[in-house]
Amino acid sequence: MNPELRELAQRYAGALHDYLVGRGEAALQEAYDLGRKALGQGLGVHDLATIQHRALLKALLTARTRKEASRTIRGASKFFVESLLAFEMSHRRSQEVNAALRESEQRYRGLVDTARDVIYTLSTDGTIKSLNPAFETITGWSRTEWIGKRFSPLVHPDDLPRAAELHRAVLEGQVPPKFELGILTKSGAWIPGEFVATPLVQDARVVGVLGVARDITDRKRAAEALRHLNEGLEEEVKRIAHALHDEAGQLLASVHIGLAEIARDLPSHTAQRLEDVRGLLDKIEEQLRHLSHELRPTILDDLGLRPALEFLADGVSRRTGLKIAVEGAPGKRLPAPTETALYRIVQEALTNVTKHAQATGVSIRFTRSRRLLRCVVQDNGVGFDVSAVSARRGARGLGLTGIQERLHAIGGTLDIVAAPRNGTELIINVPVEADSAESDSPRG
Ligand SMILES: Nc1ncnc2c1ncn2[C@@H]1O[C@H](COP(=O)(O)OP(=O)(O)O)[C@@H](O)[C@H]1O
Ligand SMILES: [Mg+2]
């Protein structure tokens, strides 16, 4: 027996003796305290049992009759139970903690098992460690076919370098923004997945990757449908622009000819007044031409976004007196749907400024980084309460919603910074190809 245990044994025997000779509650309290002390010293129930056993033998030696002996045994057993109380309590506490842990684990499991997104973990070398049932529903593979294997054959070959790069970044402790990868299904088809990945940390060390992947097939389809719709609309706008330009132009030309004929037959002072009317007609023609170009600027196809927007700004400026500055450059030519969308968006933004802002100036600023084109349209007008307007659902105009939908179709985003009396700023971000091979030449 070590000294600590021996001291405890001696105190225990003493207290038991006190109890047996009738010191009652105080001695029982001592039993409880000794139990706690034993627990505190890291002793186990078996140590206490040994101590109890020895103390009981010693006490029995002094018993003179069977009756006395059995009283001693009964008393000692009550004393022993009291000394075990601290152990009992600690045991119960740990049971409670375990139950709470189990419950939390079950809740977490339930969440993972019923999630509609794929939840997975990878080890540092890219081995799949776990997958939830959604993986089976979405891809058609069974989980056992992939757990324990590398993730790479599941990723589209074109996306693999990026997937590997992101895996490394997460292992370095970064949380990259959402990213998209093509994923192989059992049927051999590829589906688009949107991924969020974070480091899997254990004992303050990154031991892998925890990720959530969402099947965005439907979203992609909706965006595609929207793109078709917008392309259809563009065709319609083109038709109207041509009608305005060509047919109205021809009609005006006929009116000109008619007027000229009338002027010939009139005395010169009346003919002069007709001359004024013809001047007005010229202005109308000029306006119509400008409007039809704004509606569907051939400049956009021929020269690109910035010249087209300058043309638009010039027209709006002349009609309304607004000062409009176009700054920065959108960079290389963008895909036609992106250029058209941005043109329409700025067009709607300028319409809003003239309709609602009571502004004197607007700036349209472009900045381009490697993968992102940003266009900011800022006015110095009265501003508005963005959340109130967004909450107006159904009743609100189609403008801002239309802008959002157009952006959605090309993967862009819109942020509005506005407050009453503080101007309005539309911040438009559009993803662009990093190293696009597109030239600055006109499009066919
Ligand atoms: N530049 C702006 N300045 C002030 N208010 C604006 C501006 N742009 C939009 N708004 C506010 O947002 C509302 C919604 O705009 P929009 O969706 O284009 O619909 P509409 O122009 O048909 O009203 C407008 O009614 C207006 O109250
Ligand atoms: Mg509007």
Instruction: For residue 149, count other CB atoms closer than 10 A to its CB.
Output: 12
CA proximity to 339, closest of 410, 404, 290, 402: 410
CA of 423 to the centre of ligand 1 (A): 12
CA proximity to 399, closest of 319, 361, 345: 345
What ligand has the least distance to the C-alpha of 386?
A: 1
Both tokens of residue 82?
């009291």
**Is residue 317 located within the same domain as residue 436?**
yes
How far apart, in whole angstroms, are the C-alpha atoms of residue 141 and residue 139? 5
Q: Is 396 in the pocket of ligand 1 (CB under 6 A)?
A: yes
**Is residue 271 located within the same domain as residue 223?**
yes
Q: Is 356 in the pocket of ligand 1 (CB under 6 A)?
A: yes
Q: What is the CA radius of gyration of the chain?
A: 41
CA of 393 to the centre of ligand 2 (A): 14
What ligand has the least distance to the C-alpha of 378?
A: 1
**Is residue 273 located within the same domain as residue 231?**
yes
Ligand 1 mutation pick, 345, 348, 356, 427, max ligand atoms within 8 A of CB: 356
Where does a domain end: 296, 329, 357?
A: 296
CA of 414 to the centre of ligand 1 (A): 14
Helices 248-264 & 268-295 angle (0-180, nearest 10):
170
Length of the chain as a residue count: 444
Q: Which residues of 340-353 are buried (b: 16+ CB within 10 A; e: fewer)?
A: bbbbbbbbbbbebb
Q: Is 397 in the pocket of ligand 1 (CB under 6 A)?
A: yes
Residue 227 domain flag? yes
What ligand has the least distance to the C-alpha of 422?
A: 1
CA of 299 to the centre of ligand 2 (A): 24
Q: pTM of the predicted model, to two decimals?
A: 0.57
Q: Is 400 in the pocket of ligand 1 (CB under 6 A)?
A: yes
**Is residue 427 located within the same domain as residue 313?**
yes
**Is residue 148 located within the same domain as residue 194?**
yes
Residue 76 domain flag? yes
CA of 364 to the centre of ligand 1 (A): 17
**Is residue 336 located within the same domain as residue 408?**
yes
How is the beta sheet containing 372-379 ordered, strand by strand? 323-327, 361-368, 372-379, 424-431, 413-418
Both tokens of residue 427?
């911040």
Per DSSP, the three-state class of 279 is helix
CATH code, domain with 142 = 3.30.450.20
Number of domains in the chain: 4
Residue 33 domain flag? yes
**Is residue 292 located within the same domain as residue 316?**
no
What ligand has the least distance to the C-alpha of 353?
A: 1
Atom of ligand 1 at shortest range from CA of 352: 8
CA of 394 to the centre of ligand 1 (A): 14
Q: Is 386 in the pocket of ligand 1 (CB under 6 A)?
A: no
Which range of residues forms the domain containing residue 281? 217-296
Atom of ligand 1 at shortest range from CA of 351: 21
**Is residue 182 located within the same domain as residue 275?**
no
**Is residue 201 located within the same domain as residue 237?**
no
Q: Is 379 in the pocket of ligand 1 (CB under 6 A)?
A: yes
Atom of ligand 1 at shortest range from CA of 357: 3
Which residue's alpha carbon is at the smallest distance from atom 18 of ligand 1? 399
Specify the DSSP class assigned to residue 155: B
The H or E element containing residue 416 is strand 413-418
The tens place of each residue's pLDDT in the chain, 444 residues long, gives 688 888 889 999 999 988 988 888 888 898 999 999 999 988 888 989 999 999 899 888 888 888 888 988 998 999 999 999 999 999 999 999 999 999 999 999 999 999 999 999 999 999 999 999 999 999 999 999 999 999 999 999 999 999 999 999 999 999 998 999 999 999 999 999 999 999 999 999 999 999 999 999 998 888 888 888 888 888 888 888 888 878 888 888 888 888 888 888 888 888 888 888 888 888 888 888 888 888 878 888 888 999 999 999 999 999 899 999 999 988 888 988 899 899 999 999 999 999 999 999 999 999 998 889 999 999 999 999 988 888 776 555 568 888 988 898 888 999 999 988 889 999 999 998 875 444 444 554
**Is residue 273 located within the same domain as residue 312?**
no
Residue 96 domain flag? no
